[in-house]
Amino acid sequence: MGSADVPDIVIGRLPIYLRALNFLLEEGKEITASQELADKLGISSAQIRKDLSHFGEFGKQGTGYEIRYLREQLRKILKVDREWDVALVGAGDLGHAIAHYGNFDRNGFHVVAVFDHNPRKIGAKMGRFRILDSESIPTVIQDMGIQIAIIAVPAESAQQVADTLVEAGIRAILNYAPITLNVPPGVQVQYIDPVVYLQRMTYYL
Amino acid sequence: MGSADVPDIVIGRLPIYLRALNFLLEEGKEITASQELADKLGISSAQIRKDLSHFGEFGKQGTGYEIRYLREQLRKILKVDREWDVALVGAGDLGHAIAHYGNFDRNGFHVVAVFDHNPRKIGAKMGRFRILDSESIPTVIQDMGIQIAIIAVPAESAQQVADTLVEAGIRAILNYAPITLNVPPGVQVQYIDPVVYLQRMTYYL
């Protein structure tokens, strides 16, 4: 299950399917069809069936998908059938909001260390976290075996933070700094820059 | 300038180019080449040239792009050469962080109204904002002529909020609630769900 040959754009849609299946389960449903998912997600049912077919045969012609089973399969494929530790760099307003974003914990992503380089912040409490010195990133990441990090520092320092994280063994970075990062092959980066999304929409207004 | 025929995926890359041009200007550069942008962004130079060619001829063979000029053209194309008012629905932790996110103002997106339906929040101050009753969304949006809204409410209420916003005249929604929204044609929606980005990366770990 899972293959290096599956296009990244397909992988990118799987979490959307997973989220929709969770909602259907919460609504008390047990069976769904690609058409129902299509209507919910604005993705064609043919596309959904094709995406899923990369990983096996999950539904039966005419009877649809057993939601709980398909959800478990997607969780395994995406490797979110386990818990993940996450390091957070940046203890400003944004870092605070990220550290306390309930949906991370609910989905098995646990912020376990928060770093900042500001001497006035180091050692202080931020909610349930004690802010650690950015200097200790390599030691802490290696000792705890953390593979995922979130960057919430200003754009100017984001590349340097990314370099440190990658050096320490981080293999997936969620970057909130409004800058494109250079990372070596094999390291994943995803971007959250709300301005980019707004600018993409104003084009159509 | 600008055409309904330009693929949405091209439009989605323009803000990334704009961001890179801003950085180059801050670094004191005046001229760039598609290859320099390509190296910075991890997008091929051929793709960048092709994307830009949808909108005209911005560079000269062999001399590259005049950064300030190209930036102004992109700002016009994306309609971010002006200021935009933004309504925010949801005054929780996430809404607080969004309302005070400096990069919005710096890029011409100004949160001008914050709504919540919680009686304990309505009328209270959140930073420089006075929280308004969600009941007043239609009146305020119409009176102020707001076209862009940000949704930062729990998933359960997001669709209903979106319906109200669209009814009031909103034409672009940035949705932080972890749910896919149904909106009529002509209304733009972009999604920010950090869990989806993390799940997309764990596949590769």
Give residue A3's pLDDT. Answer: 52
Residues of B in contact with A96 (CB under 8 A): 97
Contact (CB, 8 A) for A155 and B102 = no
Instruction: Inform me whether the C-beta atom of residue B126 falls under 8 Å from chain A C-beta atoms.
Output: no
Looking at the structure, tell me whether residues B134 and B164 fall in a common domain: yes
CATH number at residue B168: 3.40.50.720
Q: In Å, how far is B10's CA from the nearest CA of chain A?
A: 10
Does residue B204 fall inside a structural domain?
no
Token reading at A163: 């370099």
pLDDT digits (tens, 9 = 90+) for A141-193: 999 999 999 999 999 999 999 999 999 999 999 999 999 999 999 999 999 99
pLDDT digits (tens, 9 = 90+) for B106-133: 999 999 999 999 999 999 999 999 999 9
Instruction: Inform me whether the C-beta atom of residue A23 falls under 8 Å from chain B C-beta atoms.
Output: yes
Among B79, B94, B179, beta carbon nearest to A202: B79
- Residue B1: which pLDDT band, with cuts at 50, 70 and 90? very low
Residue B88, Cβ density class (10 Å: 0-12 exposed, 13-18 middle, ≥19 buried): buried
Give residue B4's pLDDT. Answer: 58
Looking at the structure, tell me whether residues A170 and A92 fall in a common domain: yes
Does residue B67 fall inside a structural domain?
yes
Q: What is the mean pLDDT of chain A?
A: 93
Instruction: Inform me whether the C-beta atom of residue A10 falls under 8 Å from chain B C-beta atoms.
Output: no
Mean pLDDT of the B10-37 span: 94
Query: Which of A40, A57, A77 is the endpoint of a domain?
Result: A77
Looking at the structure, tell me whether residues A90 and A109 fall in a common domain: yes
Check CB contact under 8 Å for A20 and B174.
no
Query: Which of B77, B95, B126 is the endpoint of a domain?
Result: B77
Looking at the structure, tell me whether residues B69 and B110 fall in a common domain: no
Q: What ipTM did this prediction achieve?
A: 0.93
Q: What is the pTM of this model?
A: 0.89
For residues A203, B1, B4, B10, the Cα torsion angle rounded to the nearest 10 degrees is -60
Does residue A205 fall inside a structural domain?
no
Query: Which of B77, B106, B132 is the endpoint of a domain?
Result: B77
CATH number at residue B13: 1.10.10.10
CA B197 to CA B23: how far, in whole Å? Answer: 25
State the CB neighbour count (10 A cutoff) for residue B71.
Answer: 19
Looking at the structure, tell me whether residues A106 and A67 fall in a common domain: no
Report A:153-172 residues touching B (Cβ under 8 A): 155, 171-172
Q: What is the mean pLDDT of chain B?
A: 94
Among B190, B193, B204, beta carbon nearest to A201: B190
Residue A25 has pLDDT above 70, yes or no: yes
Residues of A in contact with B202 (CB under 8 A): 78-80, 84, 148, 172
Does residue B3 fall inside a structural domain?
no
Instruction: Inform me whether the C-beta atom of residue B202 falls under 8 Å from chain A C-beta atoms.
Output: yes
Check CB contact under 8 Å for A19 and B178.
yes
Looking at the structure, tell me whether residues B62 and B103 fall in a common domain: no
Residues of B in contact with A180 (CB under 8 A): 16, 19-20, 40-42
Give residue A118's pLDDT. Answer: 97
CA A187 to CA B204: how far, in whole Å? Answer: 9
Q: Cα dihedral sign for B158, B161, B167, B168? A: negative
Q: In Å, how far is B163's CA from the nearest CA of chain A?
A: 15
Token reading at B69: 């000029």
Range of the domain at B34: 8-77
Among B104, B188, B202, beta carbon nearest to A78: B202
- Residue B202: which pLDDT band, with cuts at 50, 70 and 90? very high
- Residue B63: which pLDDT band, with cuts at 50, 70 and 90? confident
Looking at the structure, tell me whether residues A93 and A133 fall in a common domain: yes
State which H helix or E strand residue B65 sits in: strand B64-66
Looking at the structure, tell me whether residues A15 and A90 fall in a common domain: no
| Overall domain count for chain A | 2
Looking at the structure, tell me whether residues A89 and A188 fall in a common domain: yes
Does residue B1 fall inside a structural domain?
no
Check CB contact under 8 Å for A23 and B155.
yes
Check CB contact under 8 Å for A19 and B193.
yes
pLDDT digits (tens, 9 = 90+) for A67-107: 999 999 999 999 999 999 999 999 998 899 899 888 999 99
Residue B2 has pLDDT above 90, yes or no: no
